[in-house]
Chain A
Amino acid sequence: MLFLNHIWLIPLLPAFGAAVMFVFGRKLQKTTVSAVCVGTIVLAFLLACGAVWQYSAWSSSQEHFHQPYEKTLYTWLGSDTGHLTYKTQSGAPAEFRADAGFLLDPLSSIWLLFVTGVGMLIHIYSTGYMAHEGGYYRFFGYLNLFMFSMLTLILANNYVLLFVGWEGVGLCSYLLIGFYFHRKSASDAANKAFIVNRIGDAGFLLGMFFIAWIFGSLQFTKVTTLARAGNFSPETLTYITAATLLLFVGACGKSAQLPLYIWLPDAMEGPTPVSALIHAATMVTAGVYMVARSNALFVLAPTSMKTVAIVGALTAIFAASIGLVQNDIKRVLAYSTVSQLGYMFLALGVGAFAAGVFHVFTHAFFKALLFLGSGSVIHAMSGEQDMRNMGDLHRRIPVTHSTMFIATLAIAGIFPFAGFFSKDAILWETWSREGGAYRFLWYIGYATALMTAFYMFRLMYLTFHGRPRMSHDVEHHIHESPASMTVPLVTLALCAIVAGWLGWPQSLGGSDRFTKFLEPVFAPEARVLQIEGQTGQLYEGAKEEGHNTGTEWLLMGLSLGAAGLGWGMAWRSYRHADKGYTEPIAAASPPVYNTLLNKYYVDEGYDYVFTGRRKVGDVRLGVMGLGEASSWFDSHVIDGAVNGAGRITRLFATISSWWDKWIIDGIGVNGPAILARMLSYPARLFEWGQVQWYALVMTAGLVGFVFYYVYH
């Protein structure tokens, strides 16, 4: 139980590495930086392996059968004494509390393993890729900080701590996209990613509040238990729908789904290992993780499930269609990532949580491999990212070529590479779930599979085959990457081949260990869905009976056919690509090509509607324009009315004050007083304080009397 008891060490190790980098990093040698940062991740990976190994033993014992392992370090928010109590939606008293606690169950085990594993490989790769870059310690400090946040997100046992990791990975994403901060496009992309993610985070926060309000707890195990206990009133179910929809808004932001996907393609401004680690393999799957983690809530809200499925499917085909014509090698992969994330959400939405998680798992390997391979290509091409200027690299960088080829086979869904199994699981579940209610989404998923094969093989042919189209200077410098970069590539390539075998479907004679492993997390939900499937259909379709092996084989054959078709079309169009090659889509329909090349003008549309960058004359458009108009209305009309009323009042006050001062006070009050004073003046003459005056008056009176009596 050593590893399980010390599970808190796993996120703490990278945090230590990051702290060392931020405090001492500037003074350290590059070798020291590599040793510390890669070392912490290797240690974390070993600890994670140990913890998962011990957990599988622990959870298969009789007393803890299929239980999640929880370890609480201390109460982080709230108190044990119940100071922070509130009333839940049902009126029962509840206590706000969030622990610094860790949760290990099959779901977090999977994430833990591939995040530390892929993270470790990418750290090793980065020591080679970033060897000649400035800010080496800064880069690795951010990477380690990211690993800390991501592991916190995965291992958290409550929504609040998960949110800490959620925000942490968002911050690191921002820092790493803007790693080349002297480039304006990079800092703009970083801002875009951060701001768009904030929109999603607002949704996540609100969803969290809803959960705390409905269930009185934010702890996963408690919420899940309560949700599975069932017996909710229709009103409560409505609130749960709202909560899950808001959580899904958060997932849309983090996992780049429609309509918040716009930040991910721009995030390719960051260094390529970052794109591989954060924007392909790990961070962007956080939304999938969160939805899968809340599966007990989502199955209670059929509306939310449908929303997730439809948004996922639309995102998948939308992004894949953009990827068909992009020329920047990393952008193709970015749209591919968005598209694959769409697949994952499609799986979650149709209730095939295990299939979605399986795709996350396999996708982590082959997409990280693709990005690292593209990084190797860019490295070899002296920083060139435009595929129009590449070609014929397969002999010059053979390791990169062969590993990327394996990844391409995996993502295209060629048997028996990893992507085949996970993608097929999703497509099959989409076809068969709920008696075929989601079947129309299968067509979208199928078309996406065709597109995926096409744009991936297009990428391969343009980059590695055809005629060399680069300048002589660049051509001269082409070289295979150092071992620190190729070793992770080869390791990931191996994973991209075998990772899918964990989920070898029963129809092909396998045992689908992956789904079995996840059963403790998802199995109860499967039962709920089976019951609800009778009523919760998207449309009244023919209900399929049970597990139909024949149909499943047919679907597999179809998607293999799609992959082969996409491969064939790419082979036909780009095999001999020379300077000025023609794009088949551009040849077929220039307007369609331009629309796709400009990404459906979504960014421009957002500029018109949301960002306020567009103006007609001096008038801003969109929401910001509305804001400015409101502001103008407020400052001119409302404030004008207020000020007008004020001025009129002041005028009346002036008149009134003048009237009071001169008429009322002057004539009415002071007038009689002044009159009395004037009249009293003669009287005052006799008594004005001079003793001798009194004496004089007396004397005069005396003299007067004397004269009167003498001369009378």
Chain B
Amino acid sequence: MDTMFHISTLHYMVLSAALFLLGVIGVLTRRNVVIVLMSIELILNAVNLNLVAFSHYWQGIQGANALHGQVFAIFVITDAAAEAAVGLGILIAFFRNKETINVDEVNLLKW
């Protein structure tokens, strides 16, 4: 097995961390709510990647039946879909009232 091309769990984790970081930066810096929602998708997918990677790692130790991580990833995807639906719903309601989708203009709820 060529160590150079062996893709270890660590690789996945680094990729996952990078995706997560991209997502966090996107959530914190972008004004457009659509992009913020997309960045949240990125974060969730980074988590999914982590879950699948660790599931694969556990399959190597406990056998092919260790599928908990992958099942969990499927739940997360479902959850992401639901969250996107709710988020876009709020977004439309918001746009109807303020005619903008900039997140920094959503500032009524304070103090």
- Chain A positions within 8 Å of B, measured between CB atoms, are 684, 687-692, 695-696, 699
Question: Does any Cβ of A come within 8 Å of B99's Cβ?
Answer: no
Is B28 in contact with A688, judged by CB distance below 8 angstroms? Answer: no
Kindly list 11 other residue pairs between chains A and B, CB separation below 8 angstroms, not including A688-B110, A690-B104, A692-B28: A689-B107, A689-B108, A690-B107, A691-B106, A692-B27, A692-B36, A692-B104, A695-B27, A695-B28, A699-B24, A699-B28
Tell me, in angstroms, the Cα distance from A692 to B109 when the chains sit together.
13
Is B24 in contact with A684, judged by CB distance below 8 angstroms? Answer: no
Q: Which residues of A contact B28 (CB under 8 A)?
A: 692, 695-696, 699
Q: Which residues of A contact B108 (CB under 8 A)?
A: 689
**B105 → chain A closest CB, angstroms:** 10
Is B109 in contact with A689, judged by CB distance below 8 angstroms? Answer: yes
Considering only CB atoms, which chain A residue lies closest to B103 in the complex? A691
Q: Which residues of B contact A684 (CB under 8 A)?
A: 110-111
The 9 closest A-B pairs by CB, nearest first: A689-B107, A689-B110, A688-B110, A696-B28, A687-B110, A691-B103, A695-B27, A692-B28, A695-B28
Tell me, in angstroms, the Cα distance from A691 to B29 when the chains sit together.
11
Q: Which residues of B contact A687 (CB under 8 A)?
A: 110-111
Which residue of A684, A691, A695, A696 has the most chain B CB atoms within 10 A of its CB atom? Answer: A691
Q: Which residues of A contact B106 (CB under 8 A)?
A: 689, 691
Q: Which residues of A contact B107 (CB under 8 A)?
A: 688-690
Is A688 in contact with B104, judged by CB distance below 8 angstroms? Answer: no
**B49 → chain A closest CB, angstroms:** 19
**A683 → chain B closest CB, angstroms:** 9
A-B contact count (CB 8 A): 28
Q: Which residues of B contact A696 (CB under 8 A)?
A: 28
**A686 → chain B closest CB, angstroms:** 10
Tell me, in angstroms, the Cα distance from A690 to B36 when the chains sit together.
14
Q: Which residues of B contact A688 (CB under 8 A)?
A: 107, 110-111
**A408 → chain B closest CB, angstroms:** 115
Considering only CB atoms, which chain A residue lies closest to B24 in the complex? A699
Considering only CB atoms, which chain A residue lies closest to B104 in the complex? A690
Tell me, in angstroms, the Cα distance from A696 to B103 when the chains sit together.
14
**B36 → chain A closest CB, angstroms:** 8
**B29 → chain A closest CB, angstroms:** 8
Tell me, in angstroms, the Cα distance from A666 to B107 when the chains sit together.
31
Q: Which residues of A contact B24 (CB under 8 A)?
A: 699
Considering only CB atoms, which chain A residue lies closest to B25 in the complex? A699
**B37 → chain A closest CB, angstroms:** 12
Is B111 in contact with A692, judged by CB distance below 8 angstroms? Answer: no
Q: Which residues of A contact B36 (CB under 8 A)?
A: 692
Q: Which residues of A contact B109 (CB under 8 A)?
A: 689
List 13 contacting pairs A-B, 8 Å CB cutoff, sorted by A.
A687-B111, A688-B107, A688-B111, A689-B106, A689-B109, A690-B104, A690-B107, A691-B106, A692-B29, A692-B36, A692-B103, A695-B27, A695-B28
Tell me, in angstroms, the Cα distance from A389 to B109 when the chains sit together.
114
**A22 → chain B closest CB, angstroms:** 82
| A-contact 0/1 string along B32-65, CB 8 Å cutoff | 0000100000000000000000000000000000
Q: Which residues of A contact B110 (CB under 8 A)?
A: 684, 687-689
Tell me, in angstroms, the Cα distance from A690 to B107 when the chains sit together.
5
Considering only CB atoms, which chain A residue lies closest to B30 in the complex? A692
**B70 → chain A closest CB, angstroms:** 26
Considering only CB atoms, which chain B residue lies closest to A700 in the complex? B28
Tell me, in angstroms, the Cα distance from A695 to B43 when the chains sit together.
13
Tell me, in angstroms, the Cα distance from A692 to B36 when the chains sit together.
10
Tell me, in angstroms, the Cα distance from A641 to B32 when the chains sit together.
75
**B67 → chain A closest CB, angstroms:** 29
**B50 → chain A closest CB, angstroms:** 15
**B residues 83-111 with Cβ under 8 Å of A?**
103-104, 106-111
Tell me, in angstroms, the Cα distance from A699 to B27 when the chains sit together.
10
Tell me, in angstroms, the Cα distance from A688 to B109 when the chains sit together.
8
Q: Which residues of A contact B29 (CB under 8 A)?
A: 692
**A46 → chain B closest CB, angstroms:** 102
Q: Which residues of B contact A692 (CB under 8 A)?
A: 27-29, 36, 103-104
Q: Which residues of A contact B104 (CB under 8 A)?
A: 690-692
**A698 → chain B closest CB, angstroms:** 10
Q: Which residues of B contact A699 (CB under 8 A)?
A: 24, 28
Q: Which residues of B contact A689 (CB under 8 A)?
A: 106-110
Tell me, in angstroms, the Cα distance from A610 to B104 when the chains sit together.
90
Tell me, in angstroms, the Cα distance from A695 to B109 when the chains sit together.
15
Considering only CB atoms, which chain A residue lies closest to B27 in the complex? A695
